[in-house]
Amino acid sequence: MVCLPEENLRLGSTEKQLNQLNILRGICLAFLSLKYAKVQLISLSLFPVAMLEYWFNPQISILKKLLIFIVIAAVTAGLYWMEPLPLDSILMFAGTGIIFLICRYCKIHFVKNPTGLSYRLLTWIPIALLLALIFMNMKDGEILVTGAQGIGFMALSICLFSPLSLMHKNSHA
């Protein structure tokens, strides 16, 4: 996420745009403080791991997973409050999260070669869907709020539709 200074704002920005910028700055600062804090909330495994794999890691405690879920829900709710997505878009992003879970399950249980075409295809299907939905919902060149909100709804659906990953009985990390 990129935090823009006020100097990059065009003259004549509306008060709503300035408020949105201040809220986005707060979100940026929250993510940066989570990333660089010495608090063991994330335990340095959230940012390097691709596409929410920390949620499926049995070595991360349930409390940390729930805290991360709460942070994702709060950020997504704040973005929805700023500029709500239509219900059909929210459901499409949630569906992309479910497709991510299906592709992850297929990669774990059916694909034997992690460098093969099928493994790569199952990795890129959710990413391609996510990017297509983000660009489809872009309004007047504004991609940041809708994109972050869509990624948040996708992450929430992944967390909600995979409750067994909270348990430490998951053998596939």
3-state secondary structure 89-147: HHHHHHHHHHHHHHHHHHHHHCCCCCCCHHHHHHHHHHHHHHHHHHHHCCECCECHHHH
Q: If pLDDT is split at 50, 70 and 90, which confidence band does 13 have?
A: low
pLDDT in tens, 106-121: 998 899 888 889 999 9
pTM of the predicted model as reported, rounded to 2 decimal places: 0.67
Q: Can you say whether the dihedral through the CA atoms of 6, 7, 10, 12 is positive or negative?
A: positive
Q: Which of 69, 63, 82 is nearest to 149 (CA)?
A: 82
Nearest in space to 122 (alpha carbons), one of 110, 140, 139: 110
Over range 94-111, report the average pLDDT.
Answer: 91
Write the single-letter amino acid at 11.
Answer: L
